[in-house]
Amino acid sequence: MNHLPHSATPKPAGDDLEKAPTFLRAFSVIHAALALLFVCMALVLLVIAAKGTWAVLSTELNDEAAQLVIEAMGVLAAAVVALQIAQTITEEEVIRTSHISAPTRVRRFLSRFMVVIVVALAIEALVATFRASHADASLLLHAAVMVLAVGALLAGWGLFIRLNRSAEELEPEAMQEAKREDHKLK
């Protein structure tokens, strides 16, 4: 691998894409289109949540209104997930044009998605818990399983990071390369 000296100035972001083979540029374009679709879906979810909020504000504030607020929170959580996925795809696959091969890249890429997934599931578990406690107590088991799933994901993610750390130590140059690529996001 050819690495820049640590003191070298980084290349502009467009250089990587211009030198990439045509099929890799096509993947970047497809990833950009996917990211744009995720943004569109997030905006649609935001409109749906806003309509739900308006419905709450135009009705009597009671248990039914609380349910509508809880449902709007769940929709907003899904919108945040869609935006975070769009951002991750854009930064990792379009701007950086990085191709996941080194343990450092895998950890960083997977960690970004895991943050989004864990936060979204935690919010959904909270929404399910509120919904079950107000509407149907038989749904509490479903909410508890979601909370356990969040815990299992966090534990698995922590184990992955711990085990991946030893692989990263075998390739310190990959970590330096990944850090140099971060300049494209500033």
Q: Give this prediction's pTM.
A: 0.67
Mean pLDDT by 10 residues, the chain (186 residues): 42 51 84 96 96 91 84 87 88 72 70 82 85 81 92 91 76 66 60
∠ at Cα 173 (172, 175), nearest 5°? 70
What is the distance of C-alpha 167 from the center of its chain? 24
Kindly give, in sequence order, each residue whose CB lies less than 8 Å from that of residue 152, ignoring residues fewer than 6 positions away: none
Element (H, E) at 31: helix 22-57
- The single residue listed with the structure tokens 């330096």 is 176
How many whole angstroms separate alpha carbon 75 and alpha carbon 79?
6
- Output the pLDDT for position 139: 84
